[in-house]
A and B are shown apart, each in its own frame.
Chain A
C-alpha cells in the first residue's frame, strides 16, 4: 500500500510564506492599476483643458487673418510708403542743408560785425564751413574782432578758427579779408 506522508508543520510554514508573497503581489498590481487609471484621467483632463484654451485663440487668429487679408492692398501701400520714406530719410542725410546755416551766418554777421560783406561761403553735409568776410575799412575790421569772439556768435559753432588774414591795397583804399574754418553746431531747423 502506498502511503502518503504529510508533514503538516513544514508545509504550513511554506504555504504561509507563499501566501504572503502573493498577497503583496496582488496589492502591488492593484496599486499599479489604480495609479495608471489616475494618471490617464489626469492627462486626459489636462488635454481637454488645453483644447478649451486653444479654441478661442485659433478663432481669434482666423479673424485677424481674414481682416488682414481684406486690407492686403492698404498694407502693401503702407509698406511701400514706409520703405520709400525710410530711404528718403537716409538719402537726405547727404544734404549740406546749406540754407539754414547760410541764414544763420548772415544774421550773426549782421549782429556781430555791422557792415561787412560775405565774400564766400561753403558748407558741406558734415557741417564743416569755410567763409570769408571782406571789410572796406580798418575800424569796421577792428570792431568785428570783438563781435566775432563774442559768445553770441561762437555759440553757433562747435569749433571755429581764423584761417587767413589778408589785406589788399586798392584804388579806393585798403581791403581786408578774414577767412574762417569751422564746424557748425547741429541746427534744429
Chain B
C-alpha cells in the first residue's frame, strides 16, 4: 500500500501521543496503587503510634506523679510480702499467733487446721484463746494485721465467759500474676500500704527487702546429731 504524504503527516502528528499512552497505562496499573497503599499504611502507623503514645504518656505520668522513694517502695514490698506471702509458710503462722498473744495478752493456747474450709489461697484455722475481757478486746483490735500476717475471721461469737474462746481465723497467701492489669491504682495502693504500716508500726529494721522477702529455703541437717 502506498503511504500518501497526507498519511505521513497524520502519523507524524499523532505518533508521539500513541507512544506515550502505552507507558502511561503501565504506570497507571502500578504507581497509583503503590502510592495509595503507602499512604494508607502511613495513616495506620500514625494511628497506632498515637494510641501507643496515649498509653505510654499515662504510664509516664503515673510514675512521675506517684509519691514513692526507693526505700519506701522496698518497705511496702516487704510489708505486703509478709502480710500475704507468695506461698503459705506455716512457721510464720505460728510466729504470728505468738506475736498476737504477746501483744494482746489473749493467750492462744491451741489451734487446729480446718482443711475443709481451706483453699489454695486461704488456710483456715480454729484457734482457742484464753484471756479476760480487755485482752479479748485487744485481740479484736489487733488480729487483722498485728501479728504480721493478714488474718480475717468470717464469724466471731463471744459469750460473757471468755475462758476457752474458739475463733475461726483465715490466713492468706497469693503470688501476684505476671500479666499487666490496667485497673491497678498505684497511688491508692501506696496510700493503703502506708496506712497499714502506720497501724502496725512496721519498719524494715535493717532487713534487705525484696519481692521475695520471706524465703522458703532454710538450712536443714541430714544428721540430727
Contacts and interface: CB of A to CB of B under 8 A. Distances in A.
A87 B172 contact: yes
Q: How many of chain B's residues touch chain A, expressed as a range?
A: 35 or more
Given A36-B27, A75-B63, A122 B49 contact: no
A92 B36 CA distance: 58
Contacts of B76: 77, 81
B91 interface: no
Interface in A169-186: none
A74 B153 CA distance: 34
The SS class assigned to the B binding surface is: helix
Q: How many of chain A's residues touch chain B, expressed as a range?
A: 35 or more
A32 B20 CA distance: 11
Interface stretch (B96-104, B105-113, B179-187): B179-187
B152 A92 contact: yes
Contacts of A82: 181, 184-186, 189
Interface in A58-115: 58, 60-61, 64-65, 67-68, 71, 74-89, 91-92, 94-96, 98-99, 102
A25 interface: yes
Given A79-B180, A96-B155, A50 B14 contact: no
Given A18-B10, A84-B81, A117-B160, A47 B39 contact: yes
A68 B56 contact: yes
A102 B140 contact: yes
B93 interface: no
A88 to B, nearest CB: 6
A92 B150 contact: yes
Interface stretch (B67-75, B199-207, B217-225): B67-75
A119 interface: yes
A148 B59 CA distance: 55
A36 B28 contact: yes
Contacts of B180: 79
A157 to B, nearest CB: 18
B94 interface: no
Contacts of B13: 22
Contacts of A118: 160
Interface in A38-59: 39-40, 43-44, 46-47, 50-51, 53-54, 57-58
Nearest to A70: B63
A186 B142 CA distance: 21
Contact of A54 (B21, B42, B150): B42
A57 B39 CA distance: 17
B190 interface: yes
A120 interface: yes
* 9 shortest interchain CB distances as A-B pairs: A122-B157, A83-B176, A84-B80, A95-B152, A124-B155, A82-B184, A82-B189, A64-B56, A85-B189
9 contacts: A22-B14, A36-B24, A75-B59, A81-B193, A83-B184, A96-B152, A120-B158, A122-B156, A123-B155
Interface of A: 15, 18-19, 22, 25-26, 29-30, 32-33, 36, 39-40, 43-44, 46-47, 50-51, 53-54, 57-58, 60-61, 64-65, 67-68, 71, 74-89, 91-92, 94-96, 98-99, 102, 117-125, 130, 134
Given A91-B172, A96-B152, A99-B137, 16 more contacts: A22-B14, A40-B32, A46-B39, A51-B42, A57-B46, A68-B60, A77-B73, A78-B66, A78-B68, A78-B73, A83-B181, A91-B84, A91-B170, A98-B156, A120-B158, A130-B157
